[in-house]
Structure 1
Amino acid sequence: MLSRSRALARRHPVVVDALFAVVLYLPSASSHGPPWMVAQPKPPMSLVLLALVFAVLAVRRRWPLGTLVVTAVGVVPAVVFGFELEPFLLPVVIATYTLAVRTDRWTALSSAVPMVVFLVLVVLLLTPAPGFTKESFARFAWIGMAAAIGDAVRSRRAFIAAIEERAVRAERTREEEARRRVAEERLHIARELHDVVAHHIAVINVQAGVAGHLITSQPEAAAEALGHVRRSSRAVLDELGGLLGVLRRPEESNTPTEPAPGMAQLDSLVDAFRASGLDLRSTLTGEVRDLPATVDLVAYRVVQEALTNAHRYGTGTARLSVVYTASEIILEITNALGGQPRDGGTGLGLVGMRERAGAVGGTIRTGIDGDDRFRVLATLPLQLGKKP
């Protein structure tokens, strides 16, 4: 309710300020006098002049300096005709506060101080004896207090705005830094792979061509060329193993103990998730086909990552559907939302799945389906180079 009221005030400031001026005008225009005496009605001219001064407050936020000038000038006829001064000073106090809030400190001081001096001179010169008294000084002290309060409010708002802007800038900087580091790391890995593999692959290519050309006419020379191929292949494998050892975490094994996983290990993966407490229902449609090694690995990793997210963020149930068609394999994993993000995949796991699928020409879509369940749909080609 409070936020809606603030939003309405920001959209219609003139209307809100006009209502505020009316609320202040009504008690200021009421009859006055000591409680033990009969209340004396204010002169009609005083009510009209007071209404004009309060009406200017409707535009106080749009023209704060002009509002202060008009309200200060409105005090002059009140002093000349001997009207009660306090009701006419109230708009001046409000205008001073608004000026201090909506302008800088120098503008507020350079406007409020001359205005106070002007009003004091008006009272001294135009008020009948006894003229300016201590009570009059107390009246004008409220103007100075309004300026001080307005300056404090403006400083606090500026401080909060600066903190919020700094937080937004810091968040944006962290995101940009993370993207930059990812790009640099990818470039670094690509350069390392190129430097390690390029030379030996060139040697293998040349020696294989030589062996194919001499295999019938000069078997001994062909065997020597094949020996070069074998040694270069071994060097590539050794150097790639060293590079992967650098990329591995310290707690991981230095040498693989099993081949890269694939869809042939899907049943074991499903059983492992079921054993960990996930209520998983899986279906297989179509004729199982052999997949390229890279597609096979990507398909397995996509299922593994999606089921991991379902188990970690879901409600304990998930569904897995594997569909083989003539040209592609379609993987669909759904689960109830639980604590899973509703924005369709800003997590690093989902980003990694998209990168893996895109590397083999596939696609991945994530999001909330019509049953309010989180859905991962991966489509991968059965042949590399052909998009599904």
Structure 2
Amino acid sequence: MGTGRGGAVGRWVSGGRADVWLAAGSAAVAAVLGLFVEDGRPPDAAGWALLLSAQVPLVWRRRHPMAALLAVVSCVAPYHALDYTHSAAVPVGMIALYTVAVTGGARRTLLTGTAVVGIMLVVNALVSPHQLAEVLRISGWIVSVLLFGGYTRVHREMAAAALDRAERAERTREEEARRRVAEERLRIARDLHDLLAHSITLIGVQTSVAAHVLAADPGRLDRAAVAKALDDIAGTCRSARGELRTTLEVLRDPGAPETRGPLPGLHGLPGLADTARAAGASVALTVRHGEVPPAIGAAAYRIVQEALTNAVRHGGRDGLDVRVSVHDDGGALRVTVTDDGAGAGSGAPGFGLVGMRERARSVGGTLEAGPRPGEGFEVTAVLPMGENR
């Protein structure tokens, strides 16, 4: 706010300095006209006092336009009434009238012009009725100056409004850009979480399987089981590395064409189920659906992926039973993942449930997750397809 006050003071000082020069210039013009133009008697000491005094109010014309006009009229009116050189007093009067018109509204301009012209006509009728034609000519100039001032004011207001609209549009664009950046950061965070959490969980489980096989009976080592566990670990690492690489390529060059390939979808659910089975869970997968938009399929895939990851991580026992159901439900895709383990709430809090809810909301859906009666955990998502087809 201090900067704003400083700027206003600076503009006022600059405008006041300009008005001082304007008053000095107007006084010089009035002096030249008073000396060399003969449309009245030459000013004497009183005439020069009135003429030069009329220039002084121009110094505060910006701050107090009506007061400046009244002060000018109080000097100019007796100057004209005494029949001094009339042209010499015209510039200062026109400047004062223009200031009133350019700083006020149309109503004030109209009332001011009517009052000034009316006073001129009355004074002329009482003092010098033979100069009616000259008074009418001056009245025309007064009307012209007031119209020009009003036009300038309207033009300035329109320019200020256009500038304000442009500034608001720029702010809107900046806010939209910030919103898009935030959404993209959130999407990337969800992708990385889904990818890394799923892969690391499976690697941990598969490593535990390999360690268990090695330690169970060293004398009768099941090489095939160890080899399978290690192959599963290698496959999970390759898959995670591929997805992570494409995600990082997008981050390094946001302007590059999309290179991540098609979005994961419902066709990938059997692979998720197989991966969970390799980690020791018993997975029953039921998928019944018609045409599903890509965005809905991708959201369903990620929700099932995270739900299976949580089930394997927090199940708490071997032989975990997981049931995955994906089917049409009155214009929406219903995704249900249930298990009979200890439940996701048994571990440290993380971002999995938050990410699943955000996945559902991103396509206009809802997600509920919580413990089942007795034991186990259930995740249910309803993803509407009507607006995404």
TM bucket, shorter chain: 0.5 to 0.7
Q: Distance in 1 between matches of 2:134 and 2:208?
A: 109
Distance 1:233 1:129, change over 3 A: closer
* Mean CA deviation greater in 102-111 or 147-156: 102-111
Indicate the SS of the match to 2:202.
Answer: helix
Larger Rg: 2
Q: Determine which of 2, 25, 28 is the counterpart of 1:23.
A: 28
Q: CA deviation at 1:185?
A: 1.5
Which residue of structure 2 lines up, in the alignment, with residue 226 of structure 1?
A: 230
Which residue of structure 2 lines up, in the alignment, with residue 141 of structure 1?
A: 140
**Superposition pairs of residues 49-198 of structure 1, within 5 angstroms:** 49-124=50-125, 126-130=126-130, 133-198=132-197
Q: Distance in 1 between matches of 2:129 and 2:247?
A: 98
Aligned alpha-carbon RMSD (Å): 3.5
- Unaligned segments of structure 2, at least 5 residues: 1-10, 262-389
**Superposition pairs of residues 177-326 of structure 1, within 5 angstroms:** 177-218=176-217, 219-220=221-222, 222-237=226-241, 239-240=243-244, 249=256
Q: Distance in 1 between matches of 2:181 and 2:133?
A: 72
**Which structure shows the bigger proportion of residues in helix conformation?**
2
Q: CA deviation at 1:238?
A: 5.5
Q: Distance in 2 between matches of 1:47 and 1:164?
A: 46
Given that 1:21 and 1:55 are in contact with CA atoms closer than 8 Å, whether structure 2 keeps it comes out as no
TM-score normalized by structure 2? 0.53
Q: CA deviation at 1:79?
A: 4.4
TM-score normalized by structure 1? 0.53
Distance 1:58 1:11, change over 3 A: closer
Q: CA deviation at 1:222?
A: 4.7
Q: Distance in 2 between matches of 1:33 and 1:23?
A: 17
Q: CA deviation at 1:188?
A: 0.9
Q: Distance in 2 between matches of 1:33 and 1:239?
A: 94
Equivalenced residues, count: 243
User: Residue type of the partner of 1:73?
Assistant: S
**Superposition pairs of residues 339-350 of structure 1, within 5 angstroms:** none
Q: Distance in 1 between matches of 2:250 and 2:52?
A: 81
Q: Which has the higher contact order (CA 8 A, sep 6+)?
A: 2
Indicate the SS of the match to 2:43.
Answer: coil
